């Protein structure tokens, strides 16, 4: 299995390497206010891919932080008041059976 994974990685590498060799022509990207960037086409594609990765990661950071703080809150036991801890809580009433045909 290890050799199959190495062969797959090598095939992907050589495919991308051949793509880079076939796209060495200069391309021009025109930005706002008359600025432009001239570079090999493969470099422009790689830069656009990297910018997309960075934008995706930055878009997910707030959600990751929210989930991380929620996980930390769930991992820490909450301190119950002393009066509530002394009295046992009554059991919850049983749930009614579900109607399979209703909405």
For residue range 84-97, list pLDDT tens digits in order.
556 677 787 777 76
Both tokens of residue 7? 């062969």
Residue 28 gets the label, from left (phi > 0), alpha (psi -120 to 50) or beta, of: beta
Which candidate, 50, 14, 13, 44, places its Cα nearest to that of 31? Answer: 44
Where do runs of H (alpha helix) occur along the chain? 2-22, 41-75, 82-86
Is the pLDDT reported for residue 23 higher than 90? no
In the structure, what pLDDT confidence band is assigned to residue 102 with cuts at 50, 70 and 90?
Answer: low
Average pLDDT of the residues in 53-80? 86
State how far the Cα of 73 lies from the Cα of 76, in Å rounded to an integer: 5
Q: Which SS3 state, helix, strand or coil, does residue 28 take?
A: strand
Asked if residues 29 and 44 have their Cβ atoms less than 8 Å apart, the reply is yes
Q: What is the pTM assigned to this prediction?
A: 0.52
């Amino acid at each position: 299995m290890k050799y199959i994974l190495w062969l797959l990685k090598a095939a992907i590498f050589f495919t991308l390497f051949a793509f880079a060799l076939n796209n060495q022509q200069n391309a021009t990207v025109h930005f706002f206010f008359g600025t432009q960037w001239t570079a090999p086409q493969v470099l422009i594609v790689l830069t656009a891919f990297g910018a997309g990765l960075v934008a995706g990661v930055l878009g997910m950071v707030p959600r990751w932080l929210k989930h991380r703080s929620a996980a930390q809150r769930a991992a820490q036991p909450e301190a119950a008041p002393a009066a509530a801890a002394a009295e046992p809580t009554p059991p919850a009433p049983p749930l009614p059976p579900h109607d399979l045909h209703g909405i």
